[in-house]
Amino acid sequence: MIDREHIPLEQGLHNNSADLTFDNIDKAIETGEWNQEALDELNNLITDIENGQRVFNRLSQREFVGCTRGGKRNVAASCICAISTKTDSKAEKSDEFKQADKQKRIIENWAKSENIWIDNTNEHFEKVREHIPLEQGFVL
């Protein structure tokens, strides 16, 4: 059985096997530019979570299971939001709407760097629909 450390993300997520820091992720959050080092750092964190070496104390067990079952992208977005909350100033933390807007921008920047962001979903799905035969039952 895996000995899981229950260290909140806000406390730095250290364990015996690796000394993870979030310097590159923090920089990407602040600048909006996700370089390969930041993406690698995030992927290492996701791998630790998927392998049961890390958990979010801020989530209930049920929420944590749902987060991980949602897939790698869901875990990444959750990590990014948690880390961005840690780096916010006290003034921004007190305004949930500002914080939510900031997190939306951060997630969008990350998703664009991973080539998984769609700017105009209606246009995109119209193009996709044109290439799927009607007998496959594609409906929008």
The answer as to whether 61 is a domain residue is yes
| The total number of structural domains that make up the chain | 1
Distance from the Cα of residue 79 to its chain's centroid? 5
Question: Using an 8 Å Cβ cutoff, are 67 and 35 in contact?
Answer: no
Mean pLDDT of 71-91: 81
Question: Using an 8 Å Cβ cutoff, are 93 and 64 in contact?
Answer: no
The answer as to whether 1 is a domain residue is no
Question: What would the two tokens of residue 20 be?
Answer: 């993870």
| Full domain range(s) for residue 103 | 9-136
Q: pLDDT over 90 for what percent of the chain? A: 40
**Among the listed residues 62, 68, 26, 61, the one whose alpha carbon sits nearest the alpha carbon of residue 47:** 68
Among 20-24, 69-73, 131-135, which range has the highest average pLDDT? Answer: 69-73
More confident residue, 22 or 110: 110
- Rounded-to-integer distance, Cα 71 and Cα 68, Å: 6
More confident residue, 8 or 66: 66
pLDDT value at residue 4 = 35
pLDDT value at residue 7 = 38
The answer as to whether 3 is a domain residue is no
36-48, pLDDT tens digit by residue?
Answer: 999 999 999 999 9
The answer as to whether 2 is a domain residue is no
The answer as to whether 24 is a domain residue is yes
